[in-house]
Every structure is written in structure tokens, then in C-alpha cells.
Amino acid sequence: MLPLRENAKRNRSTWIQYCPFCLADDEAPYFRRQWRLASRVSCFVHGCGLRDRCPACRGGIAAFDQTELIPQHFCARCGFDLCRAPKATVKAAARRLERAIDDICRVEVAKGSPPINGLVSRLLRAPVAADVTSAKTLTNLSTSARIRCFESLAAKPDDWLAADKDATIAHRRRLILAAGGHDRLIARFTDLLEKHQDSLRPKRSSPPGTDLPVLLTAYARIMTGTRHFVRWSEIVSARISAYDPNQDLTLRPG
């Protein structure tokens, strides 16, 4: 969780982040609980970067510090409407990493995995793994600094997060990281199952004796009778020689 701070330097974290598009979409704008997570740097709905500053006065977001009863999406210091804040960008690779981290945490919390404490410690030390010099703890970085941190980590090997004494846990983490999230991992697994099931289904083969020339010869006998068989066999032979599989082949007597 981000620390509860009323005032912070520009390169330090504040109390909460926000997505201006989510606030604009709300009938009654409100701050989401997940926006307080230090591991969250983008909006999963709109794909944009989160913000932790008012773009007008550059002050941190402190909805709890309002002196008047006004909607939360107005800056407590200058009154700027945060719904009008410009879009912040995050590289796709960083958003994939962020999604994977969120899914890894949810899976390990749900399974009650003992290594979850070690995982949290690694996330907190992410700036060290990313060679970010402004802070050593993720919760101390501003949102823009954490975005740069995640973009740097996305270009590095995943050992800083995936490695674990339990080979099963490490393998699961690497699978989720490689897929870019748990949902994408499930989608890949579903595709593999469908392909495997298709390979097990018996392939339809043509019944014996369905050679095209044989069928045409039999058709000629039925249509013309024995007396004209020789003539029709010549027609059939000519048709076979000129057969184009992309055209309809129809025999007409006479």
C-alpha cells in the first residue's frame, strides 16, 4: 500500500493514484481501493497510466484534506477537476508485467502459499532490480517513477520475481509472466487442449472404391446402357483427361 502522506516531493509517492477516465465515467466519481497499491501503475480498464498529482498545482492527491464538502474528484488544494487530467502513457510491456504481477499475487494469496511474504519483499525491492536510484522501496516512488521502473523491469530477465526454492511455484510464476497474465495463460492452455482434442478425432477418409474414373465409368453404364457403352466410355475418357477440379463436372447424355 502507498503510505498516507499529505505532502510529498515530486519524486516521492503520495497517498493515492487515480485514472481520470474512470472518474469521468463515474456517475458519482470515487477513488478505487486498488489505486492505493504500489504495484499498480496503469488502469486495467482504459490502459492508460495512473496519476498521483494534480496537473494544475502539481500537489499530491489528498481527498481527506478537503476543508469543504465537495466531490472527491476536485483537487483539495486548487479545485482542479481531476476528470480533465491528460492521459498518461505506459508501454505495453510494462502493462503486461503489471498484470502478471497482479495475477501472481492473487493466485498465491488464494492458494495460501507461504512464499507470498517473500514475493511481497521482492516487489518492494523492485527499484533495486530495475537500477532505479531515486529510492530503494517501491512504495516510496511516485507513480511516474514506478512506471519507468516497470518499463525497465519488463526488459530484464524475470528471475528477480519468478525464482523460488519451490520449483513448482517458480515454474507457475514464469508461465504467468511469459503469458502476460493468468487469463492469457488459461487462454493458451485452452487452445492447446482444443488442438490436442482435434488431433485425437478420427479423420474422415473416402470409402474404398471411390476413384473418380471408376465412378464416371459406372455412371456412363447406367445412363447409356450396354449398346452405347463404348461411345460413352470415350466421352468419359475425354472428360477425365480434361478434368479441372475447380469446375463442376457434369455428364449429360446425347
Q: What is the mean pLDDT of residues 246-253?
A: 48
pLDDT of the residue at 111: 78
Q: What is the mean pLDDT of residues 77-104?
A: 94
Domain carrying residue 219 = 212-241
Grid coordinates given for 59: 500537489
Residue 108 has a CB neighbour count (10 Å cut-off) of 19
Residue showing cell 474422415: 204
Residue 56 maps to a domain:
no
Residue 234 maps to a domain:
yes
Residue 108 maps to a domain:
no
Residue 84 maps to a domain:
no
Residue 32 maps to a domain:
no
Residue 233 maps to a domain:
yes
Residues in contact with 220: Cβ distance below 8 Å, sequence separation at least 6, in sequence order: 229, 232, 233, 235, 236, 251
Residue 20, SS3 per DSSP: helix
Name the residue with higher pLDDT: 183 or 29: 29
What percent of the chain stands above pLDDT 70? Answer: 68
pLDDT reading at 247 higher than 70: no
Residue 228 maps to a domain:
yes
Residues in contact with 18: Cβ distance below 8 Å, sequence separation at least 6, in sequence order: 31, 35, 50, 51, 52, 61, 73, 82, 85
Residue 53 backbone dihedrals phi, psi, to 5 degrees: -135, 155
Q: What is the mean pLDDT of residues 8-18?
A: 76
pLDDT in tens, 214-243: 665 665 566 555 444 445 445 545 555 554
Residues in contact with 81: Cβ distance below 8 Å, sequence separation at least 6, in sequence order: 73, 74
Residue 236 maps to a domain:
yes
Whether this prediction's pTM lies above 0.85 is answered by no
Count of domains forming the chain? 1
pLDDT reading at 72 higher than 70: yes
